[in-house]
Amino acid sequence: MTAVTELDILHDPTNRGFASDNYSGVHPEVLAAIVRANGGHQTSYGDDVYTARLQEVFREHFGPGVEAFPVFNGTGANVVALQAVTQRWESVVCTATAHIHVDECAAPERMGGLKLMTVPTPHGKLTPELIDTVAVRKGDEHHAQPKVVSITQTTELGTAYTVDEIAHIVERVHANDWVLHVDGSRLSNAAASLGVSFKEMITDTGVDIVSFGGTKNGLMVGEAVLVINPDVVNGMKYLRKQSMQLASKMRFISTQLEALLTDDLYLRNAGHANAMAQRLAAAVADIDGVRVPRAVQANAVFAILPKVVSEKLMDDFHFYFWDEALGEVRWMCSWDTTEKDVDEFAAAVRAAMSA
């Protein structure tokens, strides 16, 4: 076998940006898990020892009875999960900033046939009172019937629902005989930020179904749908296949998720990303003309600064506009973001604002 040389690497491995936690590479412990799972043959489509072990691992974190369905990606997880808890005439309530509404290219509607009912929210969070605004026209055949409330943890605006906030939402949702889905693409960041276990945040509060994220937290590829309350879920295994989310060589997704949940790797990765975001927010807090409009509660920093400055910074650092009209940008930190990365970027922001 020919050794890999620097000429074979098509990118600069020292390059860092703040555009997305999807930009980061694969954590070495996850890569090692893939290598361990790579020998010999294992039964395909999830009937393998790694997927069986994954069920035990998820139950250690979320409680007995939880069933995990590994999938390829977050959009797939959301579409499969939401289909499993709705009938064709029912709808999904979410925030106006929800990923399922804004950033999934209408996959829930087009692929899942789901009606989304969006609610404007402060700081990206639904509340029981806001949910009440869509709890109307029950039994009206002309109106799609709300059945699921979907919240994102952490939210698209970088905020985190507290355990009490989730519990109050669950109480209102279940009072309406509805289902609560959590889009948990950054659920590990929430656990690290709040200092609570998955069981305390999800199972004990009464959440019904979860899209559990891994790719943003150090995996190569892979998420999972977690069925917490099987009484409200129908046809998961068929929907996963029909939605093109059933991996033939599932052991390689399952072993990554197992590695993430072993020896607190999920907390180490997410906690580090959160800490780097806090460092970045603190480093720009005193720069004239830069404003951080929301508290930094996970690994995202939202900042408002002159658009021309952001465009100049983008020549050297990857990040995106969140709201171009406001000049608001989003800076994301990852498991592999270093203090040096943060300090160099903050210094560049300071220099660009001075110029």
- pLDDT for 14: 86
Q: Which is it for strands 145-152 and 90-95: parallel, antiparallel or unpaired? A: parallel
CA 179 to chain centre: 19
Beta bridge partners of 300: 332
Strand boundaries in 159-268, DSSP class E: 179-184, 209-212, 223-227
Q: Please give the structure tokens belonging to residue 113.
A: 């046939």
- pLDDT for 15: 86
Q: Please give the structure tokens belonging to residue 63.
A: 């409680």
Q: Could you read off the pLDDT tens digit of each residue along the chain, which spans 355 residues? A: 456 666 688 988 888 899 999 999 999 999 999 999 999 999 999 999 999 999 999 999 999 999 999 999 999 999 999 999 999 999 999 999 999 999 999 999 999 999 999 999 989 999 999 999 999 999 999 999 999 999 999 999 999 999 999 999 999 999 999 999 999 999 999 999 999 999 999 999 999 999 999 999 999 999 999 999 999 999 999 999 999 999 999 999 999 999 999 999 999 999 999 999 999 999 999 999 999 999 999 999 999 999 999 999 999 999 999 999 999 999 999 999 999 999 999 999 999 999 8
| Residue 240 identity (one-letter amino acid) | R
CB distance 314 to 349 below 8 Å: no
Question: What are φ and ψ of residue 94, in 5° steps?
Answer: -150, 175
pTM for this structure?
0.96
- pLDDT for 162: 98
Q: How far apart are CA 231 and CA 325, in angstroms?
A: 45
Collect all residues with Cβ–Cβ distance below 8 Å to 355 and sequence separation of at least 6: none
Reported as a single tens digit per residue, the pLDDT across 211-264 is: 999 999 999 999 999 999 999 999 999 999 999 999 999 999 999 999 999 999
- pLDDT for 5: 64
Three-state DSSP class for 312? Answer: helix
